[in-house]
């Protein structure tokens, strides 16, 4: 199915201004909702106390914001966009943590607006758009983590990558090219947007000259930044640039069945009930990935990077959110009537159970609930020794049960539609 125009279509030119205003209002409402929810998470969940509220990598991002981009490590210097964008907020507030908190509220609104535009492009209905944005606004990977640990660049990178994908979908060469450069400067996952655009362009028979003009600057920025940093910034070995050899070494984690189990758990629950809904309808998801292989390339690159990354897992899965928006719109289109209400209600319940938003967070829960594999490999701050069992055993069982119920309900909906509409597939 072809992607619908992101700008919408109206039958008469006189209606265009009103349509644009309505659409802008829709984006603003969803963005404001996400911003309010994020601000509420900051108030209810508390803030990480380690290193004065800056955490681990956050201390380097704070230094980059305060002193300049050269103040980070070799790795954090690969992600200069968000510290650079946060500098005016730091100049205004005089505090790095407060500057990141303020800008994270802004990024949450931009992220939500970008997700809505992707959902609109795939003809998601209003309630589905609202559910998806709200789920992203309360999920651990896409909101709670940055609310508790604010001096990170992830939320800004989510926004940059999502908006870049929106512009690529719209086919705007100049704007898409600029956005792709910003995406690769926000986080390493930005290169997946470039791959997405190239595959999409080839599929739609865009000229090679236009493809090169649009995506070559982002490729050059991605490569040159790493070459320059590797050449001018030979720092402490513990902070060295991530290399292919180091990434390959992380494959040793896969020898542990628990790591594989956590990988699957966080993949299934990265967006709570929404991701479980997608897992319950694999056939529908595969059809979209087959019809538009650019999404397959995008998700494949993110999954591959996560598989060889580290024990963070779901933080990397969060970059799948734009692809999940397109998939969710396609899956939700097959629901109707009271059955749709049942599935959406189950999605909300599963989100609440797996994400547990608005609870108070501390370092013990931070590792026990969000980064359990660091407990397994004993990479913890002094004095933090949380227990994983039996709670994680129940979580595995609970998610398996949720997926089973979701699949059964989804199959019942499909079966009911087939019975009522003979000869048609949902």
Within a domain: 4: no
| Burial state string for 19-30 with b = 16 or more CB within 10 A and e = fewer than 16 | eeeebeebbeeb
- Confidence at residue 232, expressed as pLDDT on a 0 to 100 scale: 67
Pull the structure tokens for residue 104: 């994270």
Residues with Cβ within 8 Å of residue 152, at least 6 apart in sequence: 55, 57, 58, 61, 100, 145, 146
Phi, psi of 119 (to 5 degrees): -60, -40
Domain that includes residue 76, residue range: 22-232+243-420
Query: Taking the chain (426 residues) in consecutive chunks of 10 residues, what is each chunk's mean pLDDT?
Result: 46 62 91 97 93 91 92 89 97 96 98 97 94 97 96 97 97 91 96 97 95 96 86 52 58 89 95 95 94 97 87 86 97 81 90 94 92 91 89 95 88 58 37
User: Which one, of 272, 281, 268, 271, lies nearest residue 330 by Cα?
Assistant: 281
Within a domain: 56: yes
Phi, psi of 209 (to 5 degrees): -60, -45
Q: Give CA–CA dist 312/166, Å, rounded.
A: 27
Within a domain: 2: no
Q: How many CB atoms lie within 10 A of CB 167?
A: 24
Q: Give CA–CA dist 206/208, Å, rounded.
A: 6
Within a domain: 237: no
Q: How many CB atoms lie within 10 A of CB 369?
A: 18
pTM confidence score:
0.90
Q: Give CA–CA dist 31/118, Å, rounded.
A: 14
pLDDT tens digits, one per residue of 304-315 = 988 887 777 778
Rg of the chain on CA atoms, in Å = 21
Pull the structure tokens for residue 283: 């056939």
User: Alpha helix (H) ranges present in 69-153?
Assistant: 81-93, 96-121, 126-138, 145-148
Query: What's the total number of domains in the chain?
Result: 1
Pull the structure tokens for residue 161: 């990558």
Within a domain: 3: no
- Confidence at residue 12, expressed as pLDDT on a 0 to 100 scale: 46
- Confidence at residue 80, expressed as pLDDT on a 0 to 100 scale: 95
Within a domain: 205: yes
pLDDT tens digits, one per residue of 9-31 = 444 455 557 778 888 999 999 99
Pull the structure tokens for residue 59: 């201390």
- Residue for token pair 């319950």: 280
Between the alpha carbon of residue 339 and those of residues 49, 119, 134, 136, the distances in Å are 45, 21, 21, 23
Q: What is the DSSP string of 16-40?
A: HHHHHHHHHHHHHHHHHHHHHHHHH
Within a domain: 6: no
- Confidence at residue 253, expressed as pLDDT on a 0 to 100 scale: 86
Q: Give CA–CA dist 107/174, Å, rounded.
A: 23
Q: Give CA–CA dist 114/193, Å, rounded.
A: 14
Residues with Cβ within 8 Å of residue 81, at least 6 apart in sequence: 153, 156, 157, 160, 182, 185, 186
């Amino acid at each position: 199915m072809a992607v619908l125009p992101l700008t919408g279509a109206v039958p008469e030119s006189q209606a265009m201004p009103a349509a644009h205003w309505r659409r802008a209002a829709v984006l603003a409402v969803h963005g404001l909702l996400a911003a309010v929810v994020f601000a509420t998470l900051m108030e209810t969940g508390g803030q990480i106390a380690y290193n004065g509220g800056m955490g681990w990598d956050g201390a380097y991002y704070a230094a980059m914001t305060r002193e300049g981009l050269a103040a980070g490590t070799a790795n954090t210097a690969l992600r200069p966009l968000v510290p650079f964008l946060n500098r005016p907020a730091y100049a205004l507030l005089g505090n790095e943590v407060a500057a990141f908190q303020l800008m994270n509220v802004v990024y949450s609104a931009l992220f939500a607006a970008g997700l809505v535009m992707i959902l609109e492009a795939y003809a998601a209905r209003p309630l589905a758009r609202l559910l998806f944005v709200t789920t992203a606004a309360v999920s651990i990977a896409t909101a709670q983590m940055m609310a508790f640990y604010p001096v990170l660049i992830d939320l800004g990178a989510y926004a940059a990558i999502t908006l870049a994908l929106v512009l690529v979908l719209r086919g705007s060469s100049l704007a898409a090219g600029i956005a792709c450069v910003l995406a690769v400067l926000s986080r390493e996952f930005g290169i997946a947007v470039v791959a997405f655009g190239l595959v999409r362009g080839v599929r739609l028979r865009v000229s090679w000259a236009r493809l090169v003009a649009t995506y070559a600057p982002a490729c050059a920025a991605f490569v040159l930044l790493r070459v320059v940093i590797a050449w001018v910034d030979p720092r402490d070995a513990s902070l060295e640039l991530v290399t292919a050899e180091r990434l390959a070494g992380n494959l040793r984690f896969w020898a542990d069945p628990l790591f594989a189990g956590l990988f699957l758990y966080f993949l299934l629950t990265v967006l709570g009930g929404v991701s479980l809904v997608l897992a319950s309808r694999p056939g529908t998801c595969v059809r979209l990935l087959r019809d538009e292989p650019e999404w397959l390339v995008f998700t494949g690159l993110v999954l591959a990077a996560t598989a060889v990354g580290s024990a963070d897992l779901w933080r990397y899965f969060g970059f799948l959110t734009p692809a999940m928006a397109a998939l969710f719109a396609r899956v939700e289109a097959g629901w109707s009537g009271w059955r749709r209400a049942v599935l959406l209600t189950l999605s909300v319940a599963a989100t609440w159970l797996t994400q547990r938003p608005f609870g108070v967070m501390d370092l013990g829960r931070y590792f026990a609930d969000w980064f359990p594999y660091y407990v397994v490999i004993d990479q913890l701050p002094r004095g933090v020794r949380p227990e994983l069992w039996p709670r994680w055993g129940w979580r595995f069982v609970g998610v398996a049960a949720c997926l089973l119920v979701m699949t059964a309900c989804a199959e019942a909906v499909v079966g009911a539609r087939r019975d009522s509409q003979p000869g048609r597939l949902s």
